[in-house]
Amino acid sequence: MKRREFVTKLGIGMAAGGSLLAGCDKQETSTAKPGKAKTEYEWNMVTTWPKDFPGLGTGANTLARQISEMSGGRIKVTVYGAKELVPAFEVFDAVSNGAAEIGHGAAYYWKGKNEAFQFFSTVPFGMNAQEMNGWMHHGGGLELWKEAYAPFNLIPAPAGNTTVQMAGWFNKEINNISDLKGLKMRIPGLGGEVLGRAGGTPVNLPGGELFTALQTGVLDATEWVGPYNDLAFGFHKVAKYYYYPGWHEPGTTLEAIINKKAFEALPSDLQAIVTGACRIANQDMVDEYTAHNNAALDELVNVHKVLVRRLPDDVLAKLKVLSDEVVHEVANKNDLGKKVFASYSKFREQAMEWHNISERAYYNARG
């Protein structure tokens, strides 16, 4: 079904923008004043998240709202949660083939296309949000990402970052690496590969299916994001221990993917607005997580009596050895992987040198 037919069928899109259109002359285009412009482009945004889900779904909403507001309504973006237009894991293909103009998700979901894509989301023991943003926007990361997605008619942009995640929810204590053996755990991307090498069974499920999977025993454990998101899903009702730190996702970049043809159909001012809106949404998600994780952790611990545990040092050390193996293997699978990893790892080394005497030193001093 064509997008326009779909929009008409559901009675959405133009109807929702009715107030914007009221009083607008059909001839009115380039002379329109900001806030009074007529809708020139109707975009559908498909996402891998439940609709309006805190942080991730709301991050997609922020991006859509920014594009609509900054363009004075000339672009109207309608956001769809996972399964509303397409299932979570079909977002990439839907935008690639033009069924939707824009998508919001994470690059590690598309490792089936090319394993090297995972470097654009997160790497176990890799860069945090601040470092990823530096690499993307001022260290060559985004150029490489654009090159990687070009064969799929997609233009990517960082459009959110979860900051450091939690290691996940478990119903037994993890005291040594053998406690991960046989564990069926939802953990995506490179972290999932690492769990597999530690003897566990990584499962990749969309967020909306995790609570039931944990409750019914389809999963023994799950990671998701951090206190803000995990409290919203209610994992504390079906798991006892909440482990940190999120070694597997130290600062996951969320992505906007824009259909190349749809982007190129825009005049240059609207292209700049879409690009700028991604940048705003990217930073806004960091701000949102920073503001809400604190209060959510407090509620999990003090109201719901969740037992927060730190993964033992030797477990983390073993996971780091396995992670290095996995990351190097994936990096060497193809030319893209080699090129992206060379850029990523050089930036990471330099960032670590600097952050050891800045961020880390400051955290230590602050106590």
Residues within the interface to Ca ion (CB under 5 A): 165, 223, 249
Count other C-beta atoms under 10 Å from residue 330's C-beta.
Answer: 22
The CA distance from 8 to 2, in Å, is: 10
Query: Taking CA 113 as the corner, what is the angle to CA 110 and CA 116, rounded to the nearest 5 degrees?
Result: 80
> In whole angstroms, how close is the CB of 220 to Ca ion at the nearest point?
16
Q: Which is nearer to Ca ion, 53 or 152 (CB)?
A: 53
Distance CA 283, CA 203 (A): 30
Residue 302 main-chain phi, psi, to 5 deg: -90, -25
CB of 120 to Ca ion, least distance (A): 15
Least CB distance to Ca ion at residue 316 (A): 17
C-beta closer to Ca ion: residue 43 or 92: 92
Closest approach of Cβ 203 to Ca ion, in Å?
A: 13
User: Minimum Å distance from CB 192 to Ca ion?
Assistant: 10
- What's the min distance (Å) between Cβ of 295 and Ca ion? 20
Shortest distance (Å) from residue 280 CB to Ca ion: 23
Q: Which string of b and e fits 202-222 if b means at least 16 CB within 10 Å?
A: bbebbbbbbbebbeeeebbbb
Enumerate the H helices of the chain as residue ranges.
3-10, 18-21, 56-70, 91-96, 129-138, 141-149, 189-197, 210-215, 227-233, 260-264, 268-302, 313-331, 335-357, 359-366
* 18 versus 112: smaller Cβ distance to Ca ion: 112
Cβ 141 vs Cβ 275: under 8 Å:
no
Q: In this structure, is the dihedral angle defined by the CA atoms of residues 103, 107, 109 and 115, taken in order, positive or negative?
A: positive
Which is closer to Ca ion, CB of 212 or CB of 358? Answer: 212
Q: Which is nearer to Ca ion, 205 or 322 (CB)?
A: 205
Residue 127 or 274: the one with the smaller Cβ distance to Ca ion is: 127
Rounded least distance, CB 205 to Ca ion, Å: 11
- The verdict on whether omega for the bond into residue 158 sits within 30 degrees of 0, i.e. cis, is no
Closest approach, Cβ 337 to Ca ion, in A, equals: 22
The DSSP bridge partners found for residue 161 are: 253
Contact call for residues 36 and 231 (beta carbons, < 8 A): no
Alpha carbons 140 and 144: distance in angstroms, whole number? 7
Nearer to Ca ion (CB atom), residue 20 or residue 254: 254
Q: Judging by beta carbons within 10 Å of its beta carbon (0-12, 13-18, 19+), is residue 287 exposed, middle or buried?
A: exposed
Q: Which residue in 358, 351, 354 sits closest to 139, CA to CA?
A: 351
| Residue with smaller CB distance to Ca ion, 39 or 162 | 162
Q: Which one, of 113, 115, 129, 112, lies nearest residue 190 by Cα? A: 115
Beta carbons of 281 and 258 less than 8 angstroms apart: no
Nearer of residues 13 and 81 to Ca ion, judged by Cβ? 81
State which residue has the least CB distance to Ca ion.
249
